Chains A and B, each alone.
Chain A
């Protein structure tokens, strides 16, 4: 979808799809540079001395202008940041250098560690620095370099549509323009809408609204009864039953009956509450986990590589529980306690305002102390937690590497290392428990003092006849009921923050868009011939690092092609791109002339099978693992596939043959055996296109030869891509591609590449010499 645009000023920015800022345009015009002459503008952020300022590289029809300076604010403008005011700014120039365009041949972006620079090769072979820039402007620089080189080559720039906008969206919050702290996790801390978050996650509760209502109702009833209880067992009992003047004097049994009754009732409500809320809990946690897991599975590989898988698993498990807790335990508990505290406060005020004020005087103090205690307690617990995590890390590290430890007889050192970690845990543990044994009884004592005050003043009131004995007892009982929720309130703030985090992660995962998506109207051709074509493919796992840089080749159906190159040159990446584990950044990949983006995932994955270096076998039997590729395969087909992959022979030597359990603590297969099983898996798929990515690397030469021989028969009529660094593996391919640093410098048959005397020739000689050294003539 290339569309030729009129030659106008193009500027490339990673921040905004901005045209050049007006003051700059004015400045340039003053310098005699006309807007319509400008072909390309590259804004950069470092000047020649690596100072941060605004720089522009302006390419016109016949020259390249390097401008350095800054767009300053005029006095009138004040603090306004609205873009509309920009017109009032003025460009202050620091330098203005002009290079003739004809002298420059090619721009190149050279990546340094945290910065980059654009250099130009001149016609005389020397180099000229065009611009310095930070990594933030690197993308823009790459794009600009591409267009510059295009301009030099073709005399014009062709810009495909729909560019810049997307990029801006990705790095910055669309609402407030703040840059995301973690670009992989697009949550702007500023704009995180708590209410919306609650609403989104609260939806999960709606399914259980009646049960949740029951939970709430029983909570209300229990707390109502608990408010009633002190009155019955203290005030009412002493004043109305024990006192001769009381209305129910002497009716002990009645009161005991009431007390037992209320107790039983509150017990009953408590039980109902526990039963209902535990079923809701289990169901809701199940729901949440399912949502989280299915959302995660939907996402592309990139999502997983940008996060730790272990972290993801704990996230699924912990977040579900935390969110449940928040809605079903935390919120109701909090509400009930607030209502209870207020209700009791009012009752106390009615009973005796003076005593109430006395009792509440200490509340702020107590709250303050509790808050401090908790945060101190929290940090102590945190320390214990991190230290014990460290200790576990040491432990699993040593146990995993026990062979190495033994081989170097480092047992003693490891014991000391573990000892240190363990001691640190013990130390933290001691501190935490020492603190809690001192702090909490002290707090109790403080409460006890205010208790004493009430007891003293209240006792004086009783003696004075201003208050009945029963009243005093009731009052004291209520006072305790006000104090106890306070601990919960303070703790609640920590819990709530935790839950908010979990909820935002949940919503984030639910909303996360897979960056490799199937088109809604994806094409599903009935048969695939297997013609593959790569056109100027550019790709990088990270934004600014190109792993594949302009690779083009094509494979006719049924042909085999070999990809050669050093480790890390990008060979496997090509395979990943073909099956759309990732999408290309630029260029396109065609399958039978159709862009792979247009094809359905089913089409791609049914017709392409890949055997990669990573041979992951799932927990289960060997049969299940092979059948994973095609569950409807017959057992005979499984045996056949295994036979071709050279796996059958070792499998039938296992006691349980194909029913042997593998993975996670069961039968351990060797690297070569695992590879053979996964080759069988790919073969069973019976695909039109077979990708063998170092498939036989972990095998001995004899086994490899055998499998090769079988594969050669199998690949007849199938398009095959073989990736290997052992050239002998690629003896029989039709053509070879040499990949180096993401580029494809050589392409041709074995004979052609040997004749070229390039990289392939060098590799070939090296491996041949190695053979000769051990006495085998090539």
Chain B
């Protein structure tokens, strides 16, 4: 009478996109998807999406795995378990799309971080040059991904990343240390 337990995986039945069932292309800089699925009778059905959106389930821990692929209405079509299951060319295309979506310039130095009346004004250096941005309530808009990585969100919702806190120079570190 003790029936075998169903595992979580059986019940959840997550649909994964793989090179076998998904063909990812590009049209006018947008990603397209041609999805081939089989119904209960084994008959293949083909569905085409002329725009798909990628969304990381774990944006910080796993930038390249557990990617949710969504249609224009943000409904999940399926998940990509790992970018590398796709051929290098497709993977590169997906990577580029993700980079666009998760655009967050890396800050190499913080020149100034001044707080005035609840707003913090920051001047920082990136590889592309100096940036200025304003943050409201610094400690709340500063997300510590792990010991070393830091994500800052400014008042407009732009994101900046500090990839390695301890690689910052002393002066930069001092400015940000206050809020850690």
Binding site for B on A (CB under 8 A): 529, 556-558, 623, 635-637, 639-641, 643-644, 648-649, 651-653, 656-659, 661, 665-666, 683-684, 686, 710, 713-714, 716-718
Contacts and interface: CB of A to CB of B under 8 A. Distances in A.
A684 B12 CA distance: 11
Interface in B60-82: 60-62, 66, 68, 70, 74-76, 79, 81
Interface of B: 1-6, 8-14, 55-62, 66, 68, 70, 74-76, 79, 81, 140, 143, 145
Contact of B6 (A643, A651, A658, A713): A713
A716 B5 contact: yes
A665 B60 CA distance: 21
B143 A718 contact: no
B57 A641 contact: no
18 contacts: A557-B2, A558-B3, A636-B81, A637-B9, A643-B12, A643-B14, A652-B57, A652-B70, A659-B58, A659-B59, A659-B60, A659-B61, A666-B140, A686-B8, A713-B11, A717-B5, A717-B6, A718-B5
Nearest to B9: A640
A10 to B, nearest CB: 45
Nearest to A715: B6
B8 A684 contact: yes
A445 B150 CA distance: 62
B11 A717 contact: no
Nearest to A556: B1
Nearest to B3: A717
Contacts of A652: 55, 57, 68, 70, 76
Of B8, B13, B62, B74, most buried by chain A (CB within 10 Å of CB) is B8
Contact of B58 (A641, A657, A713): A657
Given A529-B2, A558-B3, A623-B58, A639 B140 contact: no
B4 A717 contact: yes
Contacts of B4: 717
A626 to B, nearest CB: 12
Given A649-B76, A652-B57, A713-B11, A639 B66 contact: yes
A416 to B, nearest CB: 29
A686 B62 CA distance: 24
Given A556-B1, A657-B56, A665-B140, 18 more contacts: A558-B3, A635-B57, A636-B66, A636-B81, A637-B9, A639-B57, A639-B66, A649-B76, A657-B58, A657-B59, A659-B60, A659-B61, A666-B140, A713-B11, A716-B5, A717-B4, A717-B6, A718-B5
Contact of B57 (A657, A666, A713, A717): A657
Contacts of A623: 58, 61
Contacts of A717: 2-6
Contacts of B143: 661
B1 A635 contact: no
Contacts of A529: 2
B163 to A, nearest CB: 16
Of A529, A639, A683, most buried by chain B (CB within 10 Å of CB) is A639
B145 to A, nearest CB: 8
A272 to B, nearest CB: 30
Contact of A635 (B8, B62, B70): B62
B2 A558 contact: yes
A651 B55 CA distance: 10
Contact of A658 (B5, B58, B74): B58
A710 B8 CA distance: 10
Which 3 A-B residue pairings sit nearest by Cβ, starting from the closest?
A640-B12, A643-B12, A652-B68
Contacts of A639: 12, 14, 57, 66, 79
B6 to A, nearest CB: 5
B155 to A, nearest CB: 16
A557 B11 contact: no
A529 B2 CA distance: 8
Given A529-B2, A558-B3, A649-B76, A644 B57 contact: no
Contacts of A640: 8-9, 11-12, 14
Contacts of A686: 5, 8
B136 to A, nearest CB: 12
Contacts of B8: 637, 640-641, 644, 683-684, 686, 714
Contact of B61 (A556, A635, A713): A635
Contacts of A637: 8-9
Contacts of A683: 8
A679 to B, nearest CB: 13
Nearest to A684: B8
A229 to B, nearest CB: 42
A1 B139 CA distance: 59
A656 B75 CA distance: 16
Contacts of B75: 649
B144 to A, nearest CB: 10
A648 B12 CA distance: 10
A656 B59 CA distance: 6
A623 B58 CA distance: 8
Contacts of A665: 140
Contacts of B68: 652, 657
A666 B60 CA distance: 18
Given A529-B2, A716-B6, A717-B2, A635 B66 contact: yes
Contact of B55 (A657, A716, A718): A657
A719 to B, nearest CB: 11
A637 B8 CA distance: 7
Contacts of A556: 1
Contact of B12 (A635, A644, A653): A644
